[in-house]
A and B are shown apart, each in its own frame.
Chain A
Amino acid sequence: MSRFALLLSLLFALVPAQTRADEVVVYSARNEQLIKPLFDAYTQRTGVTVRFITDKEGPLMARLKAEDRNTPADVLLTVDAGNLWQAAAEGLLRPVKSPILAANIPAHLRDPDNQWFGLSVRARTIVYNKNRVKPGELSTYEDLASPKWRGRLCLRTAKKVYNQSLVAMMIHELGEERTEAIVKGWVDNLAAPPFADDTQAMEAVAAGQCDVTLVNTYYFGRLMEKKPNLPLAIFWPNQAAKSAMGGVHVNISGAGVTRHAKNPAGAVRLLEWLSSEDAQNLFADVNLEYPVNPRVAPDKVVAAWGSFKQNLVNVEAAGRLQTKAVRLMDRAGYK
Chain B
Amino acid sequence: MPQARPRTWRPDGWLALALAIAALVLIPVAVTLAAFAHPQAELLAHLAEFVLPELVANTLWLGAGVAVGVGVIGVSLAWLTAVCEFPGRRFFNWALLLPLALPAYVLGFVVIGLLDFSGPLQSALRAAFGPVVLPQIRSRFGVIVTLSLALYPYVYLIARNAFATQGAVALEAAQSLGHSRRAGFFRVALPMARPWIAAGVMLALMETLADFGTMAVFNYDTFTTAIYKAWFSLFSLPAAAQLASILIAFVLAMVVIEQRSRAAMRYGAVGRAAHTRRIRLSGASAVLASGWAGAVLTLAFIVPVTQLALWALPILGEDLDARYWGFFRHSLVLAGSGALLVVATSVLLAYAGRESRSPGMPWVQRVATLGYAFPGAVLAVGLYIPVAWLDNLLIDRFGAAAGVLKGSLVVMLLAYLVRFLAVGFGPVDSGLQRITRSIDDAARSLGHTLRTRLARVHLPMLRASLVTAATLTFVDIMKEMPITLMTRPFGWDTLAVRVFEMTSEGQWERAALPALAIVIAGIIPVMILTAHGDRAHG
With known contacts A31-B502, A67-B406, A326–B118 Cβ distance under 8 A: no
Question: How many inter-chain contacts with C-beta < 8 Å in the A-B complex?
Answer: 153
Contacts of A9 in B (CB 8 A): 333
B219 within 8 A of A: yes
Which residues from 44 to 67 on chain B have a C-beta closer than 8 Å to any C-beta of chain A?
46-47, 50-51
CB of A53 within 8 A of CB of B116, answer no
CB of A323 within 8 A of CB of B504, answer no
How would you classify the secondary structure of chain B's contact residues: helix, strand, loop or mixed? Answer: helix
Q: Which residue of B lies closest to A210 (CB)?
A: B117
CB of A197 within 8 A of CB of B395, answer no
CB of A14 within 8 A of CB of B409, answer yes
- In whole Å, how far is B216's beta carbon from the nearest beta carbon of chain A? 6
CB of B407 within 8 A of CB of A193, answer no
CB of B497 within 8 A of CB of A54, answer yes
Contacts of B387 in A (CB 8 A): 66
Contacts of A199 in B (CB 8 A): 506
With known contacts A159-B225, A323-B235, A67–B388 Cβ distance under 8 A: yes
CB of A66 within 8 A of CB of B501, answer no
Contacts of A194 in B (CB 8 A): 219
One of B219, B234, B391 near A157 (C-beta < 8 A): B219
Which residues from 110 to 148 on chain B have a C-beta closer than 8 Å to any C-beta of chain A?
112, 116-118, 122-123, 136, 138-139
One of A10, A56, A68, A200 near B112 (C-beta < 8 A): A200
Question: B116, B229, B389, B505: which has the most chain A beta carbons within 10 Å?
Answer: B505
A254 within 8 A of B: no
CB of B489 within 8 A of CB of A16, answer yes
Complex formed: what's the CA distance from A335 to B222 in Å?
Answer: 12
Interface size class of A (residues with CB under 8 A): 35 or more
How would you classify the secondary structure of chain A's contact residues: helix, strand, loop or mixed? Answer: helix
A120 within 8 A of B: no
- In whole Å, how far is B298's beta carbon from the nearest beta carbon of chain A? 24
B435 within 8 A of A: no
B493 within 8 A of A: yes
Contacts of A322 in B (CB 8 A): 233, 235
Complex formed: what's the CA distance from A25 to B134 in Å?
Answer: 50
Complex formed: what's the CA distance from A86 to B234 in Å?
Answer: 10
- In whole Å, how far is B231's beta carbon from the nearest beta carbon of chain A? 5
CB of A14 within 8 A of CB of B410, answer yes
CB of A59 within 8 A of CB of B380, answer yes
With known contacts A16-B408, A54-B497, A70-B391, A323–B333 Cβ distance under 8 A: no
Query: When each residue 396-423 of chain B gets 1 if its CB lies under 8 Å from chain A and 0 otherwise, what string results?
Result: 0000110110111110000000000000
- In whole Å, how far is B399's beta carbon from the nearest beta carbon of chain A? 11
CB of A207 within 8 A of CB of B118, answer yes
B486 within 8 A of A: yes
CB of B234 within 8 A of CB of A58, answer no
Complex formed: what's the CA distance from A86 to B384 in Å?
Answer: 20
CB of A32 within 8 A of CB of B501, answer yes
CB of B392 within 8 A of CB of A69, answer yes
A119 within 8 A of B: no
One of A54, A68, A195, A200 near B392 (C-beta < 8 A): A68
- In whole Å, how far is A10's beta carbon from the nearest beta carbon of chain B? 6
CB of B504 within 8 A of CB of A70, answer no
A97 within 8 A of B: no
CB of B229 within 8 A of CB of A31, answer no
CB of B408 within 8 A of CB of A59, answer no
With known contacts A59-B485, A161-B233, A70–B392 Cβ distance under 8 A: yes
- In whole Å, how far is B406's beta carbon from the nearest beta carbon of chain A? 7
B305 within 8 A of A: no
Contacts of B225 in A (CB 8 A): 159
Contacts of A31 in B (CB 8 A): 501-502, 504-505
Complex formed: what's the CA distance from A203 to B109 in Å?
Answer: 14
Query: When each residue 498-521 of chain B gets 1 if its CB lies under 8 Å from chain A and 0 otherwise, what string results?
Result: 001110111100000000000000
CB of B51 within 8 A of CB of A203, answer no
CB of A164 within 8 A of CB of B233, answer yes
Question: A10, A70, A323: which has the most chain B beta carbons within 10 Å?
Answer: A70
Complex formed: what's the CA distance from A199 to B486 in Å?
Answer: 28
Contacts of A14 in B (CB 8 A): 404, 408-410
- In whole Å, how far is B400's beta carbon from the nearest beta carbon of chain A? 8
- In whole Å, how far is A203's beta carbon from the nearest beta carbon of chain B? 4
Query: When each residue 206-233 of chain B gets 1 if its CB lies under 8 Å from chain A and 0 otherwise, what string results?
Result: 0000000000111101000100110111
Contacts of A164 in B (CB 8 A): 233
Complex formed: what's the CA distance from A335 to B387 in Å?
Answer: 36
Which residues from 281 to 324 on chain B have a C-beta closer than 8 Å to any C-beta of chain A?
none
One of B117, B377, B389, B492 near A207 (C-beta < 8 A): B117
With known contacts A9-B333, A10-B409, A66–B232 Cβ distance under 8 A: no
CB of B377 within 8 A of CB of A58, answer yes
Complex formed: what's the CA distance from A209 to B118 in Å?
Answer: 8
A72 within 8 A of B: yes
- In whole Å, how far is B341's beta carbon from the nearest beta carbon of chain A? 12
A330 within 8 A of B: yes
One of B229, B237, B482, B490 near A16 (C-beta < 8 A): B490
B337 within 8 A of A: yes
Contacts of B377 in A (CB 8 A): 56, 58-59
Contacts of A326 in B (CB 8 A): 229, 233-234
- In whole Å, how far is B121's beta carbon from the nearest beta carbon of chain A? 12
Contacts of A67 in B (CB 8 A): 388, 391-392, 406
A272 within 8 A of B: no
Contacts of A32 in B (CB 8 A): 493, 501
Contacts of B485 in A (CB 8 A): 54-56, 59
One of B219, B403, B486, B502 near A59 (C-beta < 8 A): B486
CB of B384 within 8 A of CB of A63, answer yes
Q: Which residue of B lies closest to A226 (CB)?
A: B509
B455 within 8 A of A: no
CB of B231 within 8 A of CB of A200, answer no
B179 within 8 A of A: no
- In whole Å, how far is B129's beta carbon from the nearest beta carbon of chain A? 15
Interface residues of chain A, those whose CB is within 8 Å of chain B, are 6, 9-10, 13-18, 31-34, 51-59, 62-63, 66-70, 72, 79, 86, 157, 159, 161, 164, 192-200, 203-204, 206-207, 209, 219, 222, 287, 322-323, 326-327, 330-331, 335
Further contacts, 19 of them, CB under 8 A, given A6-B337, A204-B117, A327-B50: A14-B410, A18-B401, A34-B505, A53-B488, A58-B228, A59-B482, A63-B388, A66-B384, A68-B388, A159-B216, A164-B233, A207-B123, A209-B117, A287-B505, A322-B233, A326-B234, A327-B234, A330-B47, A335-B221
Can you list 22 pairs linking A and B with CB atoms under 8 Å apart?
Answer: A13-B489, A14-B409, A14-B410, A16-B404, A16-B407, A53-B488, A58-B231, A58-B232, A59-B377, A62-B385, A66-B389, A67-B392, A70-B388, A70-B395, A193-B139, A194-B219, A200-B118, A203-B118, A204-B117, A207-B123, A222-B507, A287-B505
The 7 closest A-B pairs by CB, nearest first: A207-B118, A66-B388, A203-B118, A197-B506, A330-B50, A209-B117, A55-B485
